[in-house]
C-alpha cells in the first residue's frame, strides 16, 4: 500500500517515512486491538439486522471566499453546489424517509473540520463530498476517492489541493498545525474505520460504473489523505466530477444538462448501494450456470493439506448481501466466500505459503477488471494479519 515516497503536505511541511513516529505505530496496534473488540460487539448486536440508510450528508466542496479550482469561466464551488442540490432533491423525492443534510446549500464558506462535524453530529449513514478537479488541459474523466495512502504523485496533489482550503480559514490553518497525516496515522485511521471502508469502496465502485455509463471516462476508485474524509465516522467518499481545466469538461460540468447527468448518475449509484446494503431486491437475478471454458482459470498451489499453513488468496469483491458463486460479477472465476464484520467477502486463488505468487495473481486480477483486488491471508480457516502471515510463511 505504501509508495516508495509517501508524502502528505500540510502547512508546507513534508512528512516522509523517516519522520513516522514510534508513538503512531503503537497507536495503530492499539487501534487494531480496539477494532477487533468493537467489531465483535458490533457483529453480536447487529447479526439479525441489516444496516439501513436514514441520513445522508452531501458536501458541496469549497464555497464563499474559497472558489476552488476554475476553468475559463466556471468555478468549482458553483459546479459542486449545483450538483449537490440536484442529488439531494433526487434522494428526497424517491426516498422521503431519508434525511438529507447539506454542509452548505448556498455560496458560503465552511471550514473543513466543520463539514466533518456536521456529518458526525447528524449521525450520517453516508457522506458524499462533491468536487471538481484541476490539472493540465489534456486531463479528463471522473474519479472517486476513499481515505487511504496515495499511490501516485497526482493523487497526492489532488489531496493537497483540496486540503489547502484550511489556509483560507480565520486562523490560517493553525488548528491543523499538529494534525498528523503521516502514512502511519492514515493506516491507523483506516484500521479504526475498517467497517466503513469496505462500504465506502462499494459505493465508490458503483459511482464510477454509473459515470462510465453516461460516457464519462472512468479514472477509477482511488485513495488519498483527505482531511474531510479522515474526520468523518461513516462510509465516506470524495468525488472529483471532472477537470475544469479541460475546455470540454468545463463546458459539460458548467452546463445544467451536464450537472443533471452527473447528479442522476450519483443517485443511481446511491440507490443501488442502498438496495444492496439493505438487502432489497434491486438487482437482476443471475442465471449463469457454471463457468465458461474461455475464462482464465487461476493457477494455484495444492491445498490438500493446509492445516497450520498460511494460505494466501486475492480478495476481489465485498458485499453486504450474499452473491451466488455463479454470478457474472465474478467473470467465471471460482470464488471462496468468507464473512467478516457482517459483510460477505469473495476471494480467488489458493497459494499455500506463497505470497509472491499471490501478489502476482493480484496484478492479474486487476487486469481482468477487479481494480480493487488485494491479497489476504488465512490460517486454519481464519483471516490473519498480512504482515504476520508473510513472516509465518517465511519460517
Q: Is 201 strand, coil or helix?
A: helix
The total number of structural domains that make up the chain: 2
Domain membership flag for residue 305: no
Whether residue 315 sits in one domain with residue 269: no
How far is 95 from 117, CA to CA, in rounded Å? 24
Task: Print pLDDT tens along the chain (395 aa).
Answer: 323 333 333 433 333 333 333 434 444 444 444 444 444 334 433 334 667 899 999 999 989 988 888 899 999 999 999 999 999 999 999 999 999 999 999 999 898 888 989 999 999 999 999 999 988 899 999 999 988 754 545 545 544 555 555 455 665 455 555 555 566 666 666 565 666 888 899 999 999 999 999 999 999 998 877 787 888 889 999 999 999 999 999 999 999 999 999 999 999 999 999 998 887 755 433 323 333 322 333 334 444 467 788 999 999 998 888 888 878 788 888 888 999 888 899 999 888 888 988 988 999 888 888 888 899 999 988 899 988 888 888 87
How far is 94 from 367, CA to CA, in rounded Å? 37
Whether residue 346 sits in one domain with residue 219: no
Q: What's the pLDDT at 188?
A: 63
- pTM score of the predicted model: 0.58
Whether residue 127 sits in one domain with residue 75: yes
Q: What is the separation of C-alpha 220 from the centre of its chain, rounded to a whole number of angstroms?
A: 10
Q: Are 378 and 313 in contact (CB under 8 A)?
A: yes
Whether residue 353 sits in one domain with residue 232: no
Q: What's the pLDDT at 324?
A: 84
How far is 165 from 103, CA to CA, in rounded Å? 15
Domain membership flag for residue 366: yes
Whether residue 321 sits in one domain with residue 195: no
How far is 149 from 332, CA to CA, in rounded Å? 31
- Residue 36 makes CB contacts below 8 A (sequence gap 6+) with none
Whether residue 23 sits in one domain with residue 168: yes
Whether residue 337 sits in one domain with residue 226: no
Domain membership flag for residue 297: no
Long-range contacts of residues 45-54, Cβ cutoff 8 Å, at least 24 apart: 46/342, 47/342, 50/277, 50/278, 50/279, 50/320, 51/125, 51/277, 51/278, 51/320, 51/342, 52/125, 52/277, 52/278, 53/98, 53/125, 53/126, 53/274, 53/277, 53/278, 54/97, 54/98, 54/99, 54/125
Whether residue 146 sits in one domain with residue 261: yes
DSSP conformation letters of 372-394: T-EEEEEETTEEE-HHHHHHHHH
Helices 256-278 and 194-213 meet at what angle, rounded to 10?
Answer: 140
DSSP conformation letters of 42-84: HHHHHTTS-----EEEEEE--BTTB--SB-SS-BHHHHHHHHH
Domain membership flag for residue 248: yes
- Residue 180 makes CB contacts below 8 A (sequence gap 6+) with 24
Q: What share of the chain is helix, strand, coil (3-state, %, to 5)?
A: 40, 20, 35
Q: Which of 224, 257, 278 is the last residue of a domain?
A: 278
DSSP conformation letters of 240-272: EEEETTSHHHHHHHHSHHHHHHHHHHHHHHHHH
100, with CB counted inside 10 A (0-12, 13-18, 19+), is buried
Whether residue 212 sits in one domain with residue 157: yes
Q: Which of 238, 258, 278 is the last residue of a domain?
A: 278
Domain membership flag for residue 342: yes
How far is 10 from 164, CA to CA, in rounded Å? 8
Whether residue 218 sits in one domain with residue 173: yes
Whether residue 172 sits in one domain with residue 242: yes
How far is 144 from 128, CA to CA, in rounded Å? 10
Q: Are 340 and 223 in contact (CB under 8 A)?
A: no
Instruction: Report the CATH number that the domain containing residue 274 is assigned in CATH.
Output: 3.40.630.40
What Rg, from alpha-carbon coordinates, does the chain have? 21
Instruction: Report the CATH number that the domain containing residue 336 is assigned in CATH.
Output: 3.30.70.1070
Q: Are 329 and 365 in contact (CB under 8 A)?
A: no
Domain membership flag for residue 284: no
Domain membership flag for residue 299: no
Whether residue 316 sits in one domain with residue 266: no
Q: What's the pLDDT at 21?
A: 39
Q: Locate cell 498480512: which residue?
A: 386
Q: Which of 278, 296, 330 is the last residue of a domain?
A: 278
What domain range is 327 assigned to?
A: 310-394
Domain membership flag for residue 302: no
Amino acid at each position: 500500500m505504501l509508495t516508495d515516497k509517501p508524502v502528505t503536505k500540510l502547512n508546507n511541511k513534508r512528512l516522509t517515512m523517516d519522520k513516522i513516529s514510534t508513538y503512531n505505530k503503537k497507536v495503530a496496534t492499539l487501534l487494531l486491538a480496539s477494532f477487533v473488540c468493537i467489531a465483535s460487539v458490533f457483529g453480536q448486536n447487529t447479526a439479525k439486522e441489516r444496516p439501513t440508510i436514514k441520513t445522508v450528508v452531501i458536501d458541496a466542496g469549497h464555497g464563499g471566499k474559497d472558489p476552488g479550482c476554475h476553468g475559463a469561466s466556471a468555478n468549482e464551488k458553483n459546479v459542486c453546489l449545483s450538483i449537490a442540490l440536484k442529488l439531494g432533491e433526487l434522494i428526497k423525492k424517491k426516498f422521503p424517509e431519508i434525511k438529507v443534510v447539506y454542509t452548505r446549500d448556498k455560496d458560503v464558506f465552511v471550514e473543513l473540520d466543520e463539514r466533518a462535524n456536521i456529518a458526525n453530529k447528524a449521525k450520517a449513514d453516508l457522506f458524499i463530498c462533491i468536487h471538481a478537479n484541476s490539472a493540465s488541459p489534456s486531463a479528463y474523466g471522473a474519479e472517486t476517492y476513499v481515505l487511504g495512502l496515495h499511490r501516485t504523485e497526482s493523487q497526492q496533489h489532488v489531496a493537497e489541493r483540496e486540503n489547502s482550503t484550511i489556509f483560507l480559514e480565520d486562523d490560517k490553518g493553525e488548528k491543523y498545525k499538529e494534525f498528523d497525516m503521516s502514512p502511519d496515522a492514515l493506516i491507523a485511521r483506516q484500521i479504526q474505520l475498517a467497517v466503513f471502508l469496505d462500504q465506502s469502496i462499494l459505493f465508490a465502485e458503483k459511482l464510477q460504473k454509473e459515470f462510465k455509463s453516461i460516457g464519462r471516462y472512468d479514472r477509477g476508485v482511488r485513495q488519498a489523505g483527505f482531511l474531510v474524509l479522515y474526520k468523518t465516522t461513516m462510509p465516506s467518499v470524495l468525488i472529483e466530477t471532472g477537470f475544469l481545466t479541460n475546455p470540454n469538461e468545463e463546458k459539460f460540468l458548467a452546463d445544467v444538462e451536464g450537472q443533471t447527468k452527473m447528479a442522476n448518475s450519483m443517485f443511481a449509484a446511491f440507490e443501488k448501494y442502498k438496495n444492496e446494503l439493505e438487502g432489497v431486491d434491486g438487482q437482476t437475478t443471475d442465471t449463469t450456470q457454471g463457468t465458461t471454458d474461455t475464462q482464465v482459470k487461476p493457477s494455484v498451489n495444492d491445498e490438500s493439506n493446509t492445516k497450520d499453513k498460511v494460505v494466501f488468496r486475492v480478495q476481489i469483491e465485498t458485499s453486504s448481501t450474499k452473491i451466488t458463486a455463479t454470478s457474472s460479477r465474478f467473470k467465471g472465476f471460482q470464488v471462496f466466500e468468507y464473512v467478516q464484520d457482517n459483510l460477505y467477502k469473495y476471494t480467488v486463488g489458493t497459494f499455500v505459503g506463497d505470497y509472491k505468487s499471490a501478489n502476482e495473481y493480484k496484478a492479474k486480477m486487476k487486469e481482468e477488471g477487479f481494480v480493487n483486488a488485494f491479497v489476504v491471508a488465512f490460517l486454519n480457516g481464519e483471516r490473519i494479519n498480512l504482515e504476520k502471515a508473510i513472516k509465518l510463511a517465511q519460517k
